[in-house]
A and B are shown apart, each in its own frame.
Chain A
Amino acid sequence: MTVRTLMDFERKGWAKRTCWNKWIKGGTLILWLGLSVLFAYEGWFKEPRIAWLALFGMIYSGVGFGARATVREWKEEKLYWWLSLPAPREKLLLAKALVALERWASLFAGVFVYIALYIFLVDLAMGGWSWHQFLLQLQIGFAEVLLAIALGPFLVMVGMLLGSFKKSSSKLIVGLLWGLVITALNLQVNLVGLQFSDKTDPANIIANLNYVILLAEGIVSYGLGFLIFKFISHRLKQGKLLTGD
């Protein structure tokens, strides 16, 4: 059995949104875009690039995606069917993690495009639009993409681990992990925070990123992600996770 097959199986598990729901969400997004353009036209907006903060938040939704992937197994009572698939536990988990990552990444990309469009339109409505200015603003987004790539897999794994505990007895571990997440958050705020102030020249954002810290963060996050992965698969092999312990 290939990981691809298991991923197809996993994808089916991500609940399909009803059409109704989709229309509401799409409508809200368009309405918000329209209002913003109107406000910008009236001169109420100064800094459209603040919108990138929303994308920043999206990075951390990785935890939610990971948690949903594992919580669903026992909440929807699919756990034992899933666990009795004839595949190594690592493969089962990998497929699950990859699909969660995929879902998170596609939402992230969607938000990225939406914000880019938003900035484009708002800038246009405020007058004084230029290609140069627009590209500079996009750089903030690209910086966030780099951070997302560095942190994403770790956050998804943290989520998967959190979702694996049925019992509150594991609160200590949960607290510890959240501590790690918040540390990472602080690191990132330091990295990106400055770039939202008026003083920084957007032209220098990519150039000014501290790549040493970014790389270090990436290495630590992938390492931790891998360790969490090993931990979950080890517990699954012992029949000790997701099963009431």
Chain B
Amino acid sequence: MSELLRLDGINKGFRGQQVLTDISFSIGKGKAVGLLGPNGVGKSTLLKIAVGLLSPDKGEVRIFGEPPSWQAFERVAFLPDRGHFSRTMKLNEALDMALRLYPVFDLGIAEEILEGAKIPAQASISELSRGQEARLNIALCVARKPELLVLDEPFAGLDILSREAMVDAVIGAISTGVQSVLISTHDLDDVEGVFDEIILLNDGRVALNQEAESVRAKYGSLRQMYKELMRV
């Protein structure tokens, strides 16, 4: 099946305040999709709904053709925007744990991503720098070789090197040709070229859903498109 994820007419509100309105899109096999939009537009909520960690008020989610369930997490890796795999574990403990927790975990891929992160072996995760932990987190996701990689603001607040390492890891995953990624970001630095398709969220609605190259052809660049559409 070529369609990994499909959202249909998703609505979600919190305490009477509407966050997402009638969101529909789908993600095909091997595609890199960027979910763009300003902070607080509901990107995180949408991603959590997409992987089944939140239930929509209205609408339908199909992941690998089925309603979301825990089984989907054998094939989907989700990186939340904030949060920790663990606070107390050391690097090796975390990798050992991942080997036991996930049905697939390629230590080689994890080590390649962690190369140059200079994570001290004796430090617990809570003692790592933001960039180091971000790299560990992306390694924990990508090494699972998930069919769908869902990353919530993976580049936010990172130093340049960690950011590049994150982008490399994502490109590495797309390069396999069998992995799709869905990435939310409010900031396009270094990632303009990464996406096949763009979904722009504005006011809780899909403002644009197009191939990245055709966006570039029409608006000049993703950045330009973003500015033009957000101004309205």
Contact = CB atoms under 8 A, between A and B. Distances in A.
A15 B73 CA distance: 27
B102 A86 contact: yes
Contacts of A78: 83-87
Given A8-B100, A239-B54, A244-B14, A86 B73 contact: yes
Interface residues of A, number: 28
A204 to B, nearest CB: 48
Contacts of A76: 84, 87
A78 B125 CA distance: 12
Nearest to B47: A80
**Interface bin, chain B:** 20 to 34
Nearest to A243: B54
B51 interface: yes
B46 to A, nearest CB: 13
Contacts of A89: 70
Interface in B88-144: 88-89, 93, 97, 100-103
Given A9-B101, A86-B74, A238 B89 contact: no
A13 B100 CA distance: 16
A5 B70 contact: no
B48 to A, nearest CB: 7
B101 A12 contact: no
Nearest to A88: B70
A85 interface: yes
A84 B53 contact: yes
Interface string B184-215: 00000000000000000000000000000000
Contacts of A51: none
A85 B98 CA distance: 10
Contact of A9 (B48, B82, B97): B97
Contacts of A42: none
A12 B103 CA distance: 20
A32 to B, nearest CB: 30
Nearest to B93: A12
A239 B70 contact: no
B78 interface: yes
A72 to B, nearest CB: 9
B144 to A, nearest CB: 9
B80 interface: yes
Contact of B78 (A1, A80, A244): A80
A244 B97 CA distance: 28
Interface in A59-110: 76-81, 83-89
A89 B54 CA distance: 14
A46 interface: no
Nearest to A244: B14
B126 to A, nearest CB: 9
Contact of A85 (B84, B89, B101): B101
Interface string A13-34: 1011000000000000000000
B13 to A, nearest CB: 12
B38 interface: no
Interface in A165-180: none
Contacts of B51: 84
Contacts of B70: 86-89
Given A1-B101, A13-B88, A86-B74, A79 B55 contact: no
Closest 8 A-B residue pairs measured CB to CB?
Answer: A80-B80, A86-B73, A77-B83, A86-B74, A239-B55, A84-B78, A239-B54, A5-B100
